[in-house]
Amino acid sequence: MSLMPKYLNVNQIKPVLAWLLVLLGVGAVVLWIGPAQLIEPWLHIAPVALILALLLMVLSYVLRAVRIQRYFLDELRGQFWPTLKLSTWHILLNNFLPMRTGEISFPVLMQRYFALPATRTVPVLLWFRLLDLQAIVILGFIAVWGIFGAGTGLADGWLWPILILVPAPFLVYLARGRIRQFILRRPAGRWQSRFLASIDSLPNAPSHFLATLGWTWANWLVKLLTLAFLLKNLAPVTVAGALAGAIGGDLTTVLPIHAPGGFGTFEAGVVLALQPFNLPAPMLLSAAINLHLFLLGTSLLAGLLVMAIPQPKSPSL
């Protein structure tokens, strides 16, 4: 006989326990660093620089929404503001929920707002993530090359991800037609129609493919350069080092391993990327935590602001 009360569901308290552990860990780190040292870097950042960073982060949110709307142009024509709301909440949930569970919100919200089925939206989400990973890895290689130069072991270690991810989107795009023909040769049925719907949701024209690639790169350049700009104001590092730190932290939000709120994993990514600068551990952690708090703070602020945007009254089909 279980000693747990019948009304208490263990699965329901697991997220609460996870957040408690995360908050206890963050509290312990803050006490170790010292609240004064955590706050001190913000006192030396010019208000104009902070406002500029906030505005650029807002621009990155707009660019993500534009990527979605332009991709689903026929269904989302004239629906930019609801798309911005959807995209912002998707980012917010991704930032705060563990293990990439926030990704589920994208097909759910696309169904709720625009009546687009998961067979149409999930493949697009995977396509977006492939392009995101490509952009981050290439920018990461540029940052590492800027710090260590070509021919070093660390820079050369990025070559395999580069060789895989640079051509990957192009190969997927080129293989789309062949995969579609293969599916059409299979016996007709429910699964065939679902697979066809998924394949047909991928880019089907060079202009469609290049537009998605362009909006992806525009978003990541704005976001990562903004975080690098802020990180350079939080720690004494070079521009390439600040970019590497920003990429190290943000890369943890794309990978499957993601703690609640990204606490711990984000900071680890930033700290590992900044190891070559031999900064004191408290300074490294302070910069990583402050950068993370800025990222989460802007995400929360954006989520609150878009709440005023009304949902579409009727699906755009």
Cα end-to-end distance, the chain, whole Å: 53
CA–CA separation, 179 and 18 (whole Å) = 42
Residue (of 69, 71, 64) closest to 89 by Cα position: 64
What percent of the chain has pLDDT above 90? 44
Segment 262-313, tens digit of pLDDT: 778 888 889 888 888 888 888 888 899 899 999 999 999 999 999 999 988 7
pLDDT of residue 16: 61
Pick the range with the lowest mean pLDDT from 36-50, 66-80, 206-220.
36-50
With both helix axes pointing from N to C terminus, report the angle between 281-305 and 47-71 in degrees, rounded to the nearest 10.
Answer: 60
Segment 144-186, tens digit of pLDDT: 777 766 555 555 666 777 888 889 999 999 998 888 888 887 7
- Whether the pLDDT of residue 25 is over 80: the answer is no
CA–CA separation, 110 and 68 (whole Å) = 10
- Whether the pLDDT of residue 316 is over 50: the answer is no
Which residues are CB-contacts of 6 (< 8 A; sequence separation ≥ 6)?
Answer: none
For the segment 228-242, the average pLDDT, to the nearest whole number, is 90
Q: What's the whole-model pTM score?
A: 0.85
Q: How confident is residue 41, by pLDDT bands cut at 50, 70 and 90?
A: confident
Contact between 312 and 113 (Cβ < 8 Å): yes
CA–CA separation, 247 and 59 (whole Å) = 18
Question: Going along the chain, which residue ranges are E strands?
Answer: none
Give the burial class of 212: count Cβ atoms within 10 A of its Cβ; 0-12 exposed, 13-18 middle, 19 or more buried.
buried
For the segment 76-99, the average pLDDT, to the nearest whole number, is 91
CA–CA separation, 105 and 312 (whole Å) = 17
Q: How confident is residue 6, by pLDDT bands cut at 50, 70 and 90?
A: low
CA–CA separation, 266 and 103 (whole Å) = 18
